[in-house]
Amino acid sequence: MLENNVQVAPSILSADLGHLADELATIEGAGYVHFDAMDGHFVPNLTFGPGVLSAVKAATQTPVDAHLMISNPDQMVPEYLSAGADIVTFHYEATAHANRLANLIRERGAKAGIAINPGTPVSALDAIIEDVDLVLVMTVNPGFGGQKFIPGSLRKICQVKAMCAERHVNPIIEVDGGISPANAAEPLARACSLLAAPSLARKTAPRPSARLPRPARPVSRGEREKRDRPHNRIP
């Protein structure tokens, strides 16, 4: 069971986009909607952009945390702000101007988040921890859903919490990747305040879908002659 002060942010990565409004209705009351934006460059997968985020905002009252796994956050952050993101989280590894970008997000009235990959040490946050409202610790290498939680991530999450206490700041500490009921319980929950977890989201029942029959593969002349050739069998 999760600690009372820990919120869950269901990700739309596993949502049925053909019934987006219905899917979002099932998670009303969640802390946030986790919006995974991937560009196919910073990470190998390609997902959603500002247009889909606008559709999400139109369909739910739940705040949206836009997690930008993209190579050019300095250029694209204004687009996600205009689309209505309540939190814009960009990767430390993707920009040389993290403080400037965080200040821009805050000036536009949203909360600023900074994400770090599994291979990035917590010390990288030293110069920006006081300028952000959220720290996202990736507990898998970003790019695909369904990966396993990386062992040792709990220690890293605790290091972030210790840095925040030392600097007298209180950002949301979010974890993303490999979260399941088995590892989202007491130890993990005590170290963070927000879980991005598709597997913890309540899902709608499967919907029937009408599918056209797959067209038959064209048969070559050689295959046709072989098929029609009489077979002599020895009794």
- 80-138 pLDDT, tens per residue? 999 999 999 999 999 999 999 999 999 999 999 999 999 999 999 999 999 999 999 99
In a domain, 152, yes or no: yes
In a domain, 221, yes or no: no
Annotation marks residue 36 as catalytic: yes
> For 196, how many CA atoms within 13 A lie in the half-sphere containing its CB?
31
Query: How does pLDDT run across 6-34, given as a tens digit for each residue?
Result: 788 888 887 888 888 888 888 887 889 99
Could you count the other beta carbons within 10 Å of the beta carbon of residue 219? 10
74-78, 81-85, 130-134, 144-148: least confidently modelled range: 144-148
As for how many domains the chain has, the answer is: 1
Produce one character per residue of 52-74: b if its CB has 16 or more CB atoms within 10 Å, e if not.
Answer: bbebbbeebebbbbbbbbbbebb
In a domain, 185, yes or no: yes
In a domain, 155, yes or no: yes
Among the listed residues 16, 22, 36, 228, the single catalytic one is 36
For residues 162 and 235, the model is more confident at 162
pLDDT at 152 exceeding the cut of 60: yes
Annotation marks residue 176 as catalytic: yes
Among the listed residues 39, 65, 131, 176, the single catalytic one is 176
Identify the residue whose tokens are 């965080």.
Answer: 102
pTM: 0.79
Fill in the amino acid letter for 33.
V
Task: Give the span between the Cα atoms of 215 and 102, in whole angstroms.
Answer: 52
CATH number of 88's domain: 3.20.20.70
In a domain, 217, yes or no: no
Instruction: Compute CA 19 distance to the chain's CA centroid, rounded to the nearest angstrom.
Output: 19
* Host domain of residue 39: 7-207
